Amino acid sequence: MSGRLKVFVIIAILGFLAGVIAQLTATYVIPWLAFVLPSLAGLTSYIVAGLAGAIITVVIVGVWAYMTSKREPY
């Protein structure tokens, strides 16, 4: 499998996992946070979406950096 195809497959898998996480967040986490923090109920979905986006971005960049780094043998 070529290097580019591996990157596309990994990004597709990460995108799938991001969708699953987003669905679980929308179903369970946002209603729970709105119940626990009623004063932030209007901002809860934005906060969770921002955190999820940050985590997904860090994972994608980390995978990219790992896959494109030159490995030196010890």
Single-letter amino acid code for the residue at 20: V
CB 25 within 8 A of CB 48: yes
Listed by start position, the domains of the chain span: 3-68
What pLDDT shows up at residue 66? 82
Residue with tokens 């043998």: 73
Mean pLDDT of 55-72: 79
- pLDDT exceeds cutoff 80 at 3: no
Eight-state DSSP code of residue 28: I
Query: Which pLDDT tens digit goes with each residue over 24-53?
Result: 877 887 788 778 877 776 776 777 778 777
Q: Are the C-beta atoms of 14 and 61 separated by less than 8 Å?
A: no
pLDDT over 70 at 73, yes or no: no
Query: Cα(55)–Cα(46) distance, rounded to whole angstroms?
Result: 14
